[in-house]
Structure 1
Amino acid sequence: MNYISIPSEISTDTFWQNINILLTKFNVVNKRLWGSNIIHKCTCKPLRRDWLAPMIDLRKYSNKDLQQYLSIILDLLDLGSTNESESFVELLLLELTPKRFTELKAYQLACLDKSNVTTTFYNVSLELTNLCPNFTYSFALTNGKIVMCSVSDSNSKPQKWLEKVVLPQLSKWCNEIKPSFQICKESLSLIPKEKYYIKYNEMKLKYGKYMVENWAEGTDPSKYVYEDVAIATYLLMLWEDSQMPEPKKFIDLGCGNGLLVYILTKEGHDGIGIDVRKRKIWDTYSNDVKLEEKTIIPSNNYLFPDADWLIGNHSDELTPWIPVMALRSSYKCNFFVLPCCAYNFDGSKYRRKDSSKSQYIEYIEYIKMVCERCGFEPKIDRLKIPSTKRICLVGQTKSYLPEKHSFVCDDINSLINETGPVAQNNETSWIANFKPREATERVRNCTQISQTVTQSVIDSISYYLLEGCDFNSNWSAGKVVHINELVSLISEENLKTMKSECGGLQTLIKNNHHIFKVYKGMVQLRYPRTEAEVLNMNYNNKKIKNKVKIKPCWFYNKHPQGCPLTDETCSYLHKNN
């Protein structure tokens, strides 16, 4: 037996609350899982220790198929079911769905012993699996501590996972309240999860691999491709489950790379993507994928009376306008919006008003209020995408009858007027002084700052890191300090310049990674890289074609001890500026 505990002061109610999170969201701690599902639940009198033996022994019968096996388990669970309010245990059969579609699902039995404040997990999968431990383990609350007990080799990977990941996460949940759980309690609540899982894996095979291999943008395809595949799958499920599942007419406002338009079009729907700036990848799509480069100004000129759906996927300054545009386009027009950056109606940045909430959660609530003022009954859902901004709002039901449509369209002006004055000419704009995105994207990564400012900042930081160091012995990389400690070294004017270039001081330091290294907010001078190290560097298991001996060596010219590498081995040039 292995016993591990984490010191804490946890109440019984909090313990069961967090066990419930674990049961319903096992994928949070187990990255092999796509999700978990409780497929059966019952209450029983306290069980004898040998009660589970018949169930586990079923695995010996190789001729049993999965459905037969599960039906026998369910029959066993229902034996001795009770409604008595005295001492009892709750039994839950969990279905664990793997991320890899080719893997078999796993099944666990969770035994919740309320009187002893203990939850025990048994692996009851038909075959041995790596989706969950194959041994029995439990979590109990003892004197305010969460204690984990397991029957396994203490050095096994599943045991280490329980110790290093699951137990700390249970303790962490006990000490925090996540706003996202309050505003949206579960993922994919508006669509059938099992159908989504099957469809998503089909779409990954159909579009994912090809698009990743043929990605024409500078962004990370492994993130953007599979994110759009997941969003497209969600919309397809949403539309399929609607009262009228025939092909939809859609408009993707701020379509970016256009991949979402491409997938939805290939799946038989009729749509257009509009963005202020054309992307290189647009030219790789077939002619049936309709993409337009134009600046959208919320006005009567941008209404879409034939559209069934308006889509706003990270649509920035258009986000608050999408429910308004859907409202004024037609009574039948619905919308899907996935907010990311927070903007007001006039295109200015949205500022948080309630410090008890994150800006993101507050902005979601603000967009929900806009939807309701537009006469929608919005539904909030959480997508399964590789992004921290994954809460969406769906508007497909109205709170008013068609004959009130013109009244609601006019009434929304009062809300728009709270941000800025309503424009006099609705044909050109619905709000005065609207600020759309610039058609030409500014480079804002501190690389456009003048060389004078950059050199001044580098000199100030390097001098501070080397101050007081011993230069009479081995070569010194200087002190290790937190990046916040360096802010006071920089003039207010230079800090303002860096901040305006998106990222500020940290971005500038990271851009000069040949001089500094940054790890978990800590900064130190880097030990110079050799020519061999630079030439053999890899990124995502792919070799990078780096050039060497092109620029002067900063250490050779600036460090009090010079460069610790020889002229031949250093990846930079050893010569005076």
Structure 2
Amino acid sequence: MDEDGETVMAKITPDSFWHSVNILITKPHIINKRLWGSKTHFHLKCKLHDNTVNLPPNCSSLTNFITSDQIEEYSQLVLKELGAEKCDSEGSTGTEGPFEIQLTEILPKIYTEKQAYQLVCLDKEKCIVTFYHVTPFGQEHKLCPNFTFTIKLEDGIITMSPVSEGETSSEYTWLAKTLITQLTKWATEKDHKSNYNINQSLALISLSKYYEKYNELKMKYGKEMVKIWPECTDPQKFVYEDVAIASYLLVLWEADTTKKVKTFVDLGCGNGLLVYILTQEGHNGLGLDVRKRNIWNMYPPNVVLQERTIRPSDSYLFPEMDYVIGNHSDELSPWIPVIAARSSYKCNFFLLPCCAYDFDGSKYQRQNAFQSQYSDYLDFLQWVCKDLGFKVDIDRLKIPSTKRICFISNGRLYKEEEYEEFSLTIDDIIKRHSSFASQDTCLETTFKARGAVERVRNCTQVDRGVVDSIVDIISKYLLKGCDSSDPKWNIGKTAEINELVQLIPKEKLTLLKSECGGIQTLLKNNHNIFEVQSGKVTLRYPRTINDVASNPRKRKHKQTTLKVQQKPCWFYNNHPQGCPLSETVCSYLHVKSN
């Protein structure tokens, strides 16, 4: 605050400026949703022949074909045009230098589109970065600006300007408005988030190889699988998420030259798509899950999927496997590294945790109140993995899920000849991390595996008498003060869900919570009576037969037989003024219910 009480924007420091510029260069997809990411072809530490001379307005474009030889030739051409020479000690981006040049390939989100190229010049002393468009002539795209522009830090403020005066294109107008706002935000915001705010996705593998592999598998398996998807889940999410995870594992495994073909077991494999793709791509494995899915029958015979209840015991060890996979494995998540540790010295694991579970199969109880449940659970899993003797890497996947942090083991922290002795300590390690176990607790027998039949938990299994009593309590509250003699039909008042919760007896609320819902789920199940929007509840005006007939969801499913006037009208029986519709118009029957 200044003396007048107004907020004063803190000046941006050079370190913060270059931090934000680095995000822009390495993660351009944050600004432009057309992009998948970027790839750096070279990064040179240089010095200018004359630091007082401005850079040229343009640089030579690349030719159509890009090879390693051409990149070297092109880099020499660029140095000459910029009046610069390469420093003797070339460093990485982490080594500060007076002047840096890098060639960046802008990768499109749609694989069939042409990529673009930018030459980026970073003047560390002047806090100026210049972007040149150097995409080969004739290669049309909409991925990056086709003009030269600069971004600089001056008096603690980030500004942007075109090198050529008079640039007034809509592209420049959008860029100037969007880019400066975002750069300033990156430079000024302070990160109070968890340690798992990993700066880079896919840090453990080659981005370019992943990009190629993902798009190859997307075309090879994804599009057709979406068309024939027999499950009730959303194929656009689940299919492409498994394609992304398979791509990640395949690129990771290809980098390991010690063994070309990997063996794996996917515990809690679900729809089995990940097992299918990895198997079809030449690796040997199997998937286990407590329930068989409809899609299993569609896979070829070489895809091994078994319906088995998995328990963390000596009966479920896999000494012949290179990897134990836990992909959203729920209550098995903390056991994945344990099973890998017990299976063999050379067995590794890939763990992508989602829902937080403890070793006994119950919900994990957060230990650190200053972190989110998810971050605290990741801390818990990381300590478990390390105490089990694993070298553990952490990465962030590019998947359509909010839970995308994964743990990957890469060998052990102890020698192979110590394996037998170390294995004897695993039970004690688990008990040390478990929030419920005592020294005489047998964790394997207390573990609660998921049932083979999935329990329906959407409030539809609650006793009808309980549902009717809650509906009666809420409707009477909404209609409080309604006069049956009033000529105008009264729809009642609007109330917050939190307000209605206070009306329900505790024992009934507990029953609803056990059914994975609550008041809101129950009200939505009774959509013929209540309307729920943005946390607010009101009575719904009764629907006519024409309303039901014109329902777009009915048209979408091409339903020819309308189910109307088959159930008693709730308003006719319970509203003080009855139903405002006539019995010939109302979509429900005007008869007294039992």
Matches within 5 A, 1:299-318: 299-318=313-332
After superposing the two structures, state which structure 1 stretch, 133-142 or 345-354, moved more.
133-142
Equivalent pair of 1:322/1:337 in contact (CA under 8 Å): yes
Inter-CA distance 40–330: structure 2 relative to 1 (3 Å threshold)? same
Please give the alpha-carbon distance, in whole angstroms, between the structure 2 residues aligned to 1:551 and 1:96: 60
Equivalent pair of 2:567/2:589 in contact (CA under 8 Å): no
Please give the alpha-carbon distance, in whole angstroms, between the structure 1 residues aligned to 2:133 and 2:543: 49
Amino acid at match of 1:438: G
Amino acid at match of 2:84: G
Q: 1:53 aligns with which of 40, 55, 58?
A: 58
Are positions 1:451 and 2:456 aligned together?
no
What is the match of residue 206 of structure 1?
220
Tell me how many residue pairs correspond in the alignment.
Answer: 559
Extract unaligned runs of 5+ from structure 1. 1-5
Please give the alpha-carbon distance, in whole angstroms, between the structure 2 residues aligned to 1:560 and 1:23: 66
Pairwise CA distance, 1:440: 1.6
TM-score under structure 2 length normalisation: 0.80
What is the match of residue 435 of structure 1?
448
Return the index of the structure with the highest Cα Rg.
2
Matches within 5 A, 1:262-277: 262-277=276-291
What is the match of residue 35 of structure 2?
33
**Which string of whole-angstrom CA distances, capped at 9 and with x for unpartnered residues, describes residues 101-156 of structure 1?**
101112344555667766665544344422234566676667877667688768x5
What is the match of residue 3 of structure 1?
none
Q: 2:359 aligns with which of 318, 329, 345?
A: 345
Are positions 1:324 and 2:329 aligned together?
no
Equivalent pair of 1:35/1:98 in contact (CA under 8 Å): yes
Inter-CA distance 140–483: structure 2 relative to 1 (3 Å threshold)? farther
Amino acid at match of 2:461: Q
What is the match of residue 256 of structure 1?
270
Amino acid at match of 1:282: W
Are positions 1:231 and 2:245 aligned together?
yes
Are positions 1:107 and 2:117 aligned together?
yes
Inter-CA distance 292–47: structure 2 relative to 1 (3 Å threshold)? farther
Equivalent pair of 2:359/2:443 in contact (CA under 8 Å): no
Please give the alpha-carbon distance, in whole angstroms, between the structure 1 residues aligned to 2:144 and 2:348: 41
Amino acid at match of 1:30: N
**Which string of whole-angstrom CA distances, capped at 9 and with x for unpartnered residues, describes residues 215-235 of structure 1?**
121111111111111111211
Inter-CA distance 507–109: structure 2 relative to 1 (3 Å threshold)? farther
Amino acid at match of 1:17: H
Secondary structure of residue in 2 paired with 1:397: strand
Please give the alpha-carbon distance, in whole angstroms, between the structure 2 residues aligned to 1:303 and 1:188: 29
What is the match of residue 104 of structure 2?
94
Q: 1:131 aligns with which of 118, 137, 143?
A: 143
Secondary structure of residue in 1 paired with 2:502: helix
Please give the alpha-carbon distance, in whole angstroms, between the structure 2 residues aligned to 1:415 and 1:518: 48
Amino acid at match of 1:518: Q
Pairwise CA distance, 1:300: 1.2
Matches within 5 A, 1:47-196: 51-55=56-60, 58=61, 65=65, 72=74, 75-76=77-78, 79-80=83-84, 92-110=102-120, 121=131, 123-126=133-136, 127-134=139-146, 156=170, 159=173, 163=177, 167=181, 171=185, 174-175=188-189, 177=191, 179=193, 182=196, 184-196=198-210
Please give the alpha-carbon distance, in whole angstroms, between the structure 2 residues aligned to 1:118 and 1:486: 58
Please give the alpha-carbon distance, in whole angstroms, between the structure 2 residues aligned to 1:445 and 1:568: 33
Q: 2:393 aligns with which of 363, 366, 379?
A: 379
Q: Percent identity?
A: 47
Inter-CA distance 118–331: structure 2 relative to 1 (3 Å threshold)? same
Equivalent pair of 2:57/2:148 in contact (CA under 8 Å): no
Please give the alpha-carbon distance, in whole angstroms, between the structure 2 residues aligned to 1:501 and 1:175: 41
Extract unaligned runs of 5+ from structure 2. 1-6, 88-94
Equivalent pair of 2:459/2:521 in contact (CA under 8 Å): yes
Equivalent pair of 2:196/2:375 in contact (CA under 8 Å): no
Pairwise CA distance, 1:497: 2.1
Amino acid at match of 1:250: F
Q: 2:372 aligns with which of 333, 337, 358?
A: 358
Inter-CA distance 284–524: structure 2 relative to 1 (3 Å threshold)? same
**Which string of whole-angstrom CA distances, capped at 9 and with x for unpartnered residues, describes residues 438-481 of structure 1?**
22211112222233443444455555566689998998876666
**Which string of whole-angstrom CA distances, capped at 9 and with x for unpartnered residues, describes residues 499-554 of structure 1?**
222232333344444531424x4555556666566556557x99234544255555
Amino acid at match of 2:106: L
Amino acid at match of 1:102: T
Equivalent pair of 2:201/2:398 in contact (CA under 8 Å): yes
Please give the alpha-carbon distance, in whole angstroms, between the structure 2 residues aligned to 1:476 and 1:122: 67
Amino acid at match of 2:590: K
Pairwise CA distance, 1:272: 1.5
Please give the alpha-carbon distance, in whole angstroms, between the structure 2 residues aligned to 1:86 and 1:410: 49
Are positions 1:393 and 2:424 aligned together?
no
Pairwise CA distance, 1:340: 1.1
What is the match of residue 3 of structure 2?
none
RMSD: 4.2
